[in-house]
Amino acid sequence: MVYISSRAAIGDNTVIGSHAVIEGRTTIGKDNQIFSHAVIGSIPQDLKYRGEDVELIIGNSNKIREFTLINPGTEVVWSYQNREQQPLNGICPYRS
C-alpha cells in the first residue's frame, strides 16, 4: 500500500515502494526511486510552522532510501530540484 496526496505530482518513471507516504503539496520529478516506508512532504517539524501552505519540490533521478523523512521548509518554498541523481537516506546510527 502507498499513500499519495491528491495535491502531489509524480513524474514519469518514478517508482514508489510499498508503504511509502507522499503528502501535501509535493512535486517529485521523473526517474526517481522511492523505497519502502519513506515519508515525503509531511508538515514541517520546525517550531515556527503555523499551518501556512508549504511546498516540497524534488528533482529527477534521485534515490530516496527506506525510512527517509523529507519535510518542506517553512515560510518559503523549499526545493531540492537542482539536486539530481542524489542518494537520500534517513538512517541515523543510534549512539548511547
76 Cβ contact list (under 8 Å, min separation 6): none
Summarised one tens digit per residue, pLDDT across range 6-47 is 999 999 999 999 999 999 999 999 999 999 999 999 998 888
Among all chains, which residue has been given the C-alpha cell 519502502? 36
Q: Percentage of residues in the chain with pLDDT exceeding 90? A: 54
Looking at the domain assignment, is residue 27 inside a domain? yes
Looking at the domain assignment, is residue 96 inside a domain? no
The beta strands (E) that lie in 1-96 are given as 3-4, 9-10, 15-16, 21-22, 25-28, 33-34, 39-40, 55-58, 63-64, 69-70, 78-80, 87-88
pLDDT for the residue 26: 95
pLDDT for the residue 91: 47
Residues of the chain by 3-state class (helix, strand, coil), percent to 5: 0, 30, 70
Looking at the domain assignment, is residue 95 inside a domain? no
Domain holding 49, by residue range, is 1-90
What's the mean pLDDT when you consider all of the chain? 83
pLDDT at 72 over 90: no
